[in-house]
Amino acid sequence: MWRDNLDSSIKEHFEDMINNVSKEKGAYKNAKNPTQAQLWCAIAILSKNISDLELKIKKLEKGSKKIENKNLKKQLEKL
């Protein structure tokens, strides 16, 4: 099978994506073109993952700025 020839660095990610997309089978199996709908499901999953990561990054950046502001305030108080 072609999947067996995937590079090992992406194989695990591929299998995870297959598992995640298969959870949406009820949606894409009834589509006019199930194969295309399955691909759109995969794209939607990737888009959601990216969005989730962007939110996490923003939260981390806010937390980091708060820490920087506290450190700056402490340093200014020492002057």
> Domain limits of the chain?
2-78
Q: What are phi and psi of 15, to 5 degrees?
A: -65, -40
Q: Is 24 helix (H, G, I), strand (E, B) or coil?
A: coil
Spatial distance between the Cα atoms of 6 and 14, rounded to a whole number of angstroms: 9
pLDDT at 76 exceeding the cut of 70 = no
pLDDT of residue 77: 72
* Helices 8-22, 34-78: crossing angle, 10 deg rounding: 110
Q: Is 6 helix (H, G, I), strand (E, B) or coil?
A: coil
Q: pLDDT tens across 16-73, in order?
A: 999 999 999 999 999 999 999 999 999 999 999 999 999 999 888 887 777 777 776 6
CA-based R_g, the chain, Å:
22
pTM: 0.73
| C-alpha of 42 from chain center | 11
